[in-house]
Amino acid sequence: MRLYKQQNTALDPIKEKGFKLEKDLQKITEDNLSNIFGLEFVTTEFQLNQLRIDTLAYDDESKSFVIIEYKRDRSFSVVDQGFAYLALMLNNKADFILEYNEKMKGNLKRDDVDWTQSRVLFIAHGFTNHQKEAINFKDLPIELWEVRKYENDLVSFNPIKAIKTAESINTLSKDENVKKITQQVKTLTVDDHIKEDWDSSRELYETLREKLFGLDERFEEVSRRHYISYKIGTTSIIQMKIRKSKIRLELTRTQLKDIKDPEKKVSYIEKSFEHWNQHMSYMDIVTDQDVDYAMFLIKQLMERFTKEKIIN
């Protein structure tokens, strides 16, 4: 990706500088984990069973650990190394819990962690075409992120994503280690939330989704265990819980006083602040008219979040 600086109507290319050392990339990533990925930094250089994890992070939204590795060598196998790290985690859960509690002064228990949502991130200046093709599965718990550093202290983090029609890793891999891990770690998709005979709610979902991305193309759709999250950057704006004949739309960071609701369709989720450290409200979407009303509410959220600088 080329970056330019506008000078009147002319565009001057911004020169790429790169990171001198892998440690520099690691330091800037660890210092900004929350801003870039929405993750909590746990520890650096975590050594266990002859393997060293560059950065251990925790995803509080999905309640799962995230392993981050930085690479300069472009010859490694992302799948082999990724699954080796996942195996290390799943076979040594107690050590990861202990590390979290010691570093974060927490009281995390094994059952508090959703191990099915574990994942590995590889971060590098660039990846080969072979490496990019190797992660082209819709349910692979491995992500590649390319990082560029430019003059004037500009830095970009860009994810490499699988195409929508990608195969499942389970249909192609004959590796027993891969099969064993994928039985324990599940990368969720929208299809995991909508059963085949849920025609009514699927149609509502597709209509609402189209309107959402029409409202703001920055929306990112992320499937979690119990809901689908729609995020801008690291901020979750709304959540969808799809049922057989309706969609429960949850509005993040929202109490009833925060929103105009002339038809009184919104309800507050009791004890939401106690459970999720934020106020949450919801409405049920049953008809196309409800979809339009939902968009009326979502636009209010977007305006308020922008004004409060929750999103830019």
Instruction: Give the tens place of pLDDT for each residue, 204-257.
Output: 999 999 999 999 999 999 999 899 999 999 999 999 999 999 999 999 999 999
> Domain residue spans in the chain?
4-184, 190-307
User: Which single residue is written with the structure tokens 């029609």?
Assistant: 165
CATH of the structural domain 190-307, one choice from 3.40.50, 1.10.3470, 3.30.200, 3.90.1150: 3.90.1150
Least confident range of 135-139, 276-280, 295-299: 135-139
Q: What is the pTM of this model?
A: 0.85
Question: How far apart, in whole angstroms, are the C-alpha atoms of residue 208 and residue 219?
Answer: 13
Query: What is the reported pLDDT for 171?
Result: 66
Question: pLDDT tens for residues 131-162?
Answer: 988 888 877 899 999 999 998 889 999 999 87
| Identity of the residue numbered 166 | A
Contacts of 191 (CB under 8 A, 6+ apart): none
Q: Could you tell me the pLDDT band of residue 43, with boundaries at 50, 70 and 90?
A: very high
Torsion of CA 223, 226, 230, 235, to 10 degrees: -110
Q: What CATH code would you report for 4-184?
A: 3.40.1350.10
- Count of C-beta atoms within a 10 Å radius of residue 137: 21
Q: Tell me: the pLDDT tens digits for 69-116? A: 998 877 788 888 999 999 999 999 999 999 999 999 999 998 999 999
**How many Å from the N-terminal Cα to the C-terminal Cα in the chain?**
22
Residue 174 confidence (pLDDT): 67
Model confidence pLDDT, tens digit, residues 177-208: 777 888 889 888 898 999 999 999 999 999 99
Mean pLDDT confidence for 14-30? 88
**Region 162-174: what's the mean pLDDT?**
67
Within this chain, domains 4-184 and 190-307 share the same CATH topology: no
How confident is the model at residue 165, as a pLDDT?
Answer: 56
Query: Cα dihedral sign for 77, 95, 66, 17?
Result: negative
**Maximum CA extent, the chain:** 61
- Long-range CB contact pairs, 73-76, < 8 A, 24+: 74/124, 74/126, 74/127, 74/128, 74/131
